Structure 1
């Protein structure tokens, strides 16, 4: 199912949805919903502007009003210029104060004070959206926007005196990278570099050297961040691996080093959806049963029963019901700022996997039957042509091993030569018998020579052969 610009209303209540998040990402999430879901455009932008006006980011506030103008909401397109002027002046004064304090700390050479001053300055840059770039000087792009916050947090490293300080700094860097990625995505730039930076910083969490109980709280955040970054880079298999290893305590972590990651970035429900879809798109039935439905990820799926239901339907070969369940929640997932750009590709992968698994049980299937089980998202008159084109594409890419009989409208599985297969199986069995006999003969020779073979020195097959 592809996004056609006319997204239906999602199943969630927007006010309840917005109450699950806080921080700088909330207006970005609401702006994404306003852009892609026409039925919620006004409500989402109203909430986004209200959230931005409670903060200090004037650039984001103005950009939201510009979005309202672009979407044809004239009453929301005019920003409060008095508020912007007051907030810009307050931001300038606060920035001058923080920079002055930091200079004083550096003159006094007090490492802890410098670290805290640098942290306050970075937090200010993050909350205010950073300085505007100078169009005449391309070099200012590197220190504009959220890049300023990232650089300020990075400078804390020289003044961190304990592993906890390093962990706190690294966690802030991960959050800033993800915020940069979404900001880049919404302003038309590639978020690839930001996701790579998020991955690099998240990997460093493992080696900061904090105590075991503190690491137990950091690891779920690290895995969730790595999963989001890999998903942002379209590495869905790697993303599924990290989401599935995220401990279920993530959903109730709360503040870790003054950073509430589930509320700032992705809730436990989000992890359930991200992990479930990535796993369903990349893992086979056995892995889904053992690692998703029956593994440590199960508590996350309890938060989103429809995702658990979809995976269960797939594992029981009820592919049509599985895809119908997924399509029902398509609008919800298209409205997610992290998942939205990838949901079409993920659902296409799941559909392709379902067709391959369905066809594996038959020697031949009619395209009409295939279309009734997996109806393409096209008008009824175009269904036969669309199904034929889809089957041909899957055959050409190698994902479906079959022949297409266009005249009779059949998809035919390649025939295996029974005689050759029987001979091959007989040859393998003979080789295994010969190998076993040679091992037993070798054991007899060892015993007759008065030697003793220590246990565990031979391979598994050799030990079996010696028995």
Structure 2
């Protein structure tokens, strides 16, 4: 029987259970270390990333599928994924080199999964009969984890969602939200993940503010660092680690919706010392995602304040030196080195599960921002030098600049004869005259209003609410007649006063 309060969640799960990551480009020349992928991620995240690489990089397909088979056999009960992965390997590997399917493992794992499922179901029913909330919650968690090992994300999400009814404190609610967020991200159910991210932020704020003694309010991330010294260190650190997971997941949701500026801020808010989420993202992912989103959307002041001057984010950048060099080159206005470094990173980025489909749009925005910032300090710029700096031809550069000028991102004009980009000079004389005329119009309006107010005051006129009493209708009518006559006289006097003043 389904609990009434989770019906909306289950309906949302059923509508989104078949959502897959956006298709990316096929990469032929990637220099990617698959052993690093295996060591950087755990659980379902490792399986998803290896399969994504196998589907989008033919040179690495056989190696990625082989690693996926080994992972599925050693750490999961997902027989269906194993059979499908083996089928792809046989179709991709040279004739006779693909390993034979381990039918013995398939049958044994299928039986083990069914027996474990029946056992967990019996234990959960027993817990529900005893009506002990903690036992029921743990039973639902164990059943959800079993479904996750079987590769059934829909059932795992449903069982994790059902634990909400049996949570007895904010930490348990936070754990429930994190589990739902994790499975939602795996299935690319971004709206569902976003709703639980909001709940998780509220739960983390409440737990720190109440249980740990911080003076914050629900959802206040600053409360995590303002907890009293007497707070329980392990509990406070646990909440901080969970909040880092929530911020990283929030950044992924914003990235999936192409809200790059908000995504950058979420990734930059992740604390390096408390981030350890190999089941979702690695520190290198945080550095890469935050840097590219920031380069595409931040101005120089924000880049300096939020990225270059952030001691916390510098620790993430040290994990990914190539990305650090790109960010540093961009901030130092060395755009040639920045764009060259981005091109070297591009094949690897295209094989990223969550970033691959956004690489082209992010690179395009970064290039536009580089062109804009390159020209900003100059009155005129040589198109030949600009083309050399940005690694393109002059005609192609003119097309790019034309689009930026039409989008009003660059206030300039292109002189094709002299091969120059010339900034538009503001007509200061016309601007001063227009400012003076506007000041005169504002002065006239203010003085007219002041004269009218003075005339109304001299006539002793005021606006009052009508009397709601039915018995005072005749009195109101006579008063209204007198007021009308007075208002007419006052209006005439005010108009005359205004005319005299303006003359």
Find the residue that maps to 1:297 and give its secondary structure.
helix
The aligned counterpart of 1:287 is 302
State how far apart, in whole Å, the 1-side matches of 2:436 and 2:329 are: 38
Could you tell me how far apart the structure 1 residues matched to 2:283 and 2:345 are? Answer: 17
Q: TM-score, normalised by structure 1?
A: 0.76
Q: Give the alignment's TM-score, normalised by structure 2.
A: 0.71
Distance 1:71 1:196, change over 3 A: farther
Indicate conservation of the 8 Å contact 2:25/2:350, yes or no: no
Contact 1:177–1:195 (CA under 8 A) maintained in structure 2: yes
What is the aligned partner in structure 2 of residue 134 from structure 1?
Answer: none
Aligned to 2:68: 48
- Distance of aligned partners of 1:312 and 1:160 in 2 relative to their CA distance in 1, 3 Å threshold: same
Give the deviation of 1:51 after TM superposition: 0.8
CA shift for structure 1 position 150: 0.7
Contact 2:62 2:92 in 1 (8 A): no
Contact 1:42 1:73 in 2 (8 A): no
> Conserved in 1, the CA contact under 8 Å of 2:69 and 2:85?
yes
Aligned to 2:179: 172
- Equivalents in 2 of 1:342, 1:80: separation in Å? 38
C-alpha separation in 2, matches of 1:395 and 1:155: 54
Q: Confirm or deny that 1:204 pairs with 2:199.
A: yes
1:237 aligned to 255, 261, 264, which one?
261
For residues 58 and 248 of structure 1, do their structure 2 counterparts lie closer, same or farther at Cα, with a shift above 3 Å needed? same
1:363 alignment counterpart: 379
Residues 24-423 of structure 1: pairs in structure 2 closer than 5 A: 24-54=44-74, 55-68=76-89, 71=92, 75-76=97-98, 79-130=101-152, 146-181=153-188, 194-208=189-203, 209-210=206-207, 211-212=211-212, 213=236, 214-251=238-275, 253=276, 262-295=277-310, 296-376=312-392, 383-405=393-415, 409-421=419-431
Distance in 2 (CA, whole Å) between partners of 1:62 and 1:411 is 60
CA shift, 1:385, in A, is: 4.2
Separation in 2 of the partners of 1:4 and 1:127? Answer: 29
The answer to whether the Cα contact below 8 Å between 1:236 and 1:282 also exists between their aligned partners in 2 is yes
Q: Secondary structure at the match of 2:263?
A: helix
Partners of 1:85 and 1:384 in 2: CA distance: 64
Distance 1:35 1:45 in 2: 9
Counterpart of 1:361 in 2: which secondary structure? coil
Shift of residue 123, structure 1, vs aligned partner: 0.7
Q: Does the residue aligned with 2:26 lie in a helix, a strand or coil?
A: coil
2:112 is paired with a residue whose SS is: helix
1:100-131, Cα deviation, whole Å (9 max, x unpaired): 2212221222222111111111111111012x
TM-superposed CA distance for 1:153, in Å, is 0.5
Moved over 6 A (4+): 424-430
**Cα distance change of structure 1 residues 429 and 149 upon mapping to structure 2, 3 Å threshold:** same
Q: Distance in 1 between matches of 2:411 and 2:135?
A: 65
Structure 2 CA distance for aligned equivalents of residues 52 and 73 of structure 1: 22
**Runs of at least 5 residues in structure 2 that lack an aligned partner in the other structure:** 1-23, 213-235, 441-503
In structure 2, the CA distance between the partners of 1:429 and 1:269, relative to structure 1 (3 Å rule), is farther
| Structure 1 residue 78 displacement after superposition | 6.4
Number of aligned positions between the proteins: 386
Q: After superposition, what is the alpha-carbon deviation per residue over 1:399-439, rounded to whole angstroms, capped at 9, x for unaligned?
A: 33333445665433322113235667899999xxxxxxxxx
* 8 Å CA contact retained: 2:37, 2:46: no
Q: Quote the offset at 1:157 in angstroms.
A: 0.7
* Structure-2 separation of matches of 1:153 and 1:304: 34
Structure 1 residue 26, shift from structure 2 partner: 0.5
Match of 1:5 among 18, 21, 26: 26
Say whether the 8 Å CA contact 1:25–1:265 is kept in structure 2: yes
What is the Cα deviation at residue 304 of structure 1? Answer: 2.0
User: Contact 2:264/2:294 (CA < 8 Å) preserved in 1?
Assistant: yes
Aligned-partner Cα distance in 2 for 1:241–1:89: 47
Contact 2:51–2:68 (CA under 8 A) maintained in structure 1: yes
Change (3 A) 1:66 1:359: farther
